[in-house]
Structure 1
Amino acid sequence: MASTSIPTTMRALIQPSATEKHLILTQREVPAANSKADEHLIRVHTVAPCAGELLWPKNFPPPKPRELIPCPDVAGTIVTAPESSPFQVGDEVYARTNYLRPGCARDYAIGVTDELAHRPKHLSWAECAAIPLSSQTAWQALFFHVGIGDFASDAWKGKRVLVTAASGGVGVWVTQLAHLAGATVIGTCGPENIDLVKSLGASEVINYRTTDLRQWAQTTPGKKVDVVIDCIGRKSLEDAWCCIKDGGVLLSIFQPPKQVQPDEYRGKDIRDIFFVMSPNRSHLEEITKLVEQGKCRPLVDSVWPLEQFGEAFKRLDSGHARGKIILDLSLNH
């Protein structure tokens, strides 16, 4: 199935090579979806870049060479679909697309059934693009990699979960989902975001500018946690080792935790985990239900026209974004 009036060329953001961290806005041919490979062509409305993603091609080269287009988070409208697809032409969808393919910072992109979901209709296009990568990363971290239990498990009740960078793209989802699962959540953030993180479900918020995690863990017996979900790495992750109970779990989405384990650390039986999320339609559909029920929400820092990609990525790289940066391809076009 296909809609009509698909142009032959489109705007696209291109990273010239894996070693260059700048982008150029240029014209490219509209991609052709391969229906035999379960591919859908999507008219892109909004996308969201991910912090550090311009380093991915160098540090994590795609298995097969491909054009380097950023922004795996996408929200848009189906314009072609395989006959067997559960998604029809005109359906409004969102996804975190697979790293094997170019990203979605272009007017038309490709998505496959196993990564697509119908978008929450009550949200804006910008809010929808803020959800897939961050929420699925949080979902998989908590309910698949930590090993305590799935979202509906009573095993989370009474557990203490520490979230670093709790006001960031992934942190806001870890905070909300861990709270909804029944855990007691402690979040770190700057002073301007303390009220926000509390509103997302954190019982305690640590101002990282005035209190480091080692100090916090040493102040009062019983402060240590069962699980740390680290979203920022480096010094914060190093200090997080001191916050884990013996037998606890330290998971980072930034780097392998052992890379920054303190030399003097003497804890026992800590499971340390580093993982990269994989797009999963069923996970995104579960998150969609929670969003539509009003139990959790995305957080958008700012919205930019595609032509202002430079300013958008500068804001992203500042490390001070409160939620997700969004590129809206319908603006100024």
Structure 2
Amino acid sequence: MKALITQPGQTAGVQEVPVPTITDDEILVKVVAVAQNPTDWKFVQNVQNHGTICGCDWSGNVVKVGKNVTTYAIGDHAAGFHQGGSYTDRGAFAEYVKVEPDLAWKVPPGTLSHEEAAAMGCALWTAVQALFHPTRLGLVEPPKKASGNEWIFIYGGSSSVGLYAVQLAHLAGYKVVSVASPKNHELVKSLGASAVFDYKDPDVISKIKQVTGDSIHVAFDTIAILESQSLTIKTFAPGPGKIIVIQAPQEEAQKLNPEVKIGHTLIYTALGKELKLGNGIPASPEDRAHMAQFLRKVPGLVSSGAIKPNPIKLWEGGLAAIPAGLLYMKEGKVTGEKLVYRV
């Protein structure tokens, strides 16, 4: 099969590699579309596991089913998430992917295109883990609902992760206040945010406190640089609170309010495998189990329209065009939409 392979020199290129061999407990999927995430270019540039398959988000049709698998049949539309840039036989930017069936979700017929389904991988999973996992924010998880009187602040409501976080928090019964570029305010509101402000507005913190009655005690920072963490922590009401971030917690931000804990979430832990990053991160059966149970809800949420895929931008050229798309994203040109490719 053809796959986009990480190569020396901080690059990636299409090569011929073997089609993955599945176990009795896996399925093999013929990939139709893939979606791009910031982690994809960061793995190519910074991690550089040469010879591994790039890419995380995929959607396709099942072509082979392990003999122990009862939940999928040949021809089913499946979508999922991989740790791209880490394995020679497992990665999204390829003509075939293999996956454990409980770490994929079955796309209901007549609902989403392959491009839309591919966009519901890394970003959606990250939002789920950050908001609902008991060791992250631990919010009330759908179909249960919160009281309707509790606010959550989501920094970066128009980012890929933010768009899903807004939908999920709203679905769970929370009032959502967010910040985003003004051109994306209506999009973020349409997905459930009660109020959206410009993060560059010098009065943004006072506006957030005013609209929420100075009641913020939980927040999710989907950008997670020092500036965003600092702004987020300043929106909090007096008393204890918690922020979840998707990059390293910043000590300078933490010092602004010691009562508010800044915690980190890393979606790769939901895959249940030891992570070969830094000094290594052990496998987390708990994170995997939490995600697997939520994925069983996703087909129903899609069918009902409760969760909508991010707006997509189809980038022509297939696998060979992905390096150009990675550069486009690295240059900061992607906002309010998801880059997708047909394989």
| TM category, shorter | 0.7 to 0.9
Q: Which amino acid in structure 2 is aligned with residue 93 of structure 1?
A: A
Please give the secondary structure, in 1, of the residue aligned with 2:27.
strand
Return the alpha-carbon distance in structure 2 between the equivalents of residues 273 and 212 of structure 1.
26
Does 1:323 pair with 2:337? yes
Percent of matched pairs sharing the same residue: 24
Return the letter of the residue paired with 1:309.
I
TM-superposed deviation, 1:195: 0.7
In the alignment, the residues of structure 2 paired with residue 223 and residue 141 of structure 1 have an alpha-carbon distance, to the nearest angstrom, of 23
Give the drift of 1:320.
Answer: 3.2
2:91 is the counterpart of 1:106: no
Distance 1:228 1:283 in 2: 21
| Change in 2 beyond 3 A, CA 1:177/1:156 | farther
Q: Mapping of 1:227-306 within 5 angstroms?
A: 227-234=218-225, 235-245=227-237, 246-256=239-249, 258-261=250-253, 263=255, 265-268=256-259, 270-277=260-267, 278-279=270-271, 280-304=291-315, 305-306=317-318
- Partner in structure 2 of residue 191 of structure 1: 182
Match of 2:56 among 55, 72, 79: 72
**Partner residue of 1:93 out of 78, 83, 86:** 78
Gap change, CA 1:57 and 1:283, over 3 Å in 2: farther
Specify the code of the residue in structure 1 equivalent to 2:304. Q
1:44–1:109 contact (8 Å) kept in structure 2:
yes
Distance, in Å, in 2 between the alignment partners of 1:155 and 1:325 is 33
* Structure 1 Cα separation of the partners of residues 203 and 252 of structure 2: 16
Query: Structure 2 counterpart of 1:252, which letter?
Result: V
Q: Secondary structure at the match of 1:52?
A: helix
Tell me the distance in 2 between the aligned counterparts of 1:327 and 1:52: 16
Correspondence list, 1:104-143, <5 A: 104-121=92-109, 122-143=111-132
Q: CA RMSD, aligned part only?
A: 2.5
- In structure 2, stretches of 5+ residues that fail to align are 272-290
Please state how far the C-alpha of 1:218 moved relative to its aligned partner: 6.5
Equivalent pair of 1:21/1:55 in contact (CA under 8 Å): no
CA distance in 2, matches of 1:110, 1:229: 32
Question: What is the TM-score normalised by the length of structure 2?
Answer: 0.82
1 CA distance for matches of 2:341 and 2:113?
13
Task: For residue 7 of structure 2, give the secondary structure of its aligned residue in structure 1.
Answer: coil
Output one character per residue of 1:233-264: Cα deviation in whole Å (capped at 9) or x when no partner.
111112211112322211111222x434164x
Out of 21, 41, 55, which is 1:54 matched to?
41
Q: What TM-score comes out, normalization by structure 1 length?
A: 0.84
C-alpha separation in 2, matches of 1:282 and 1:323: 27
Aligned length: 310
- Partners of 2:147 and 2:5 in 1: CA distance: 43
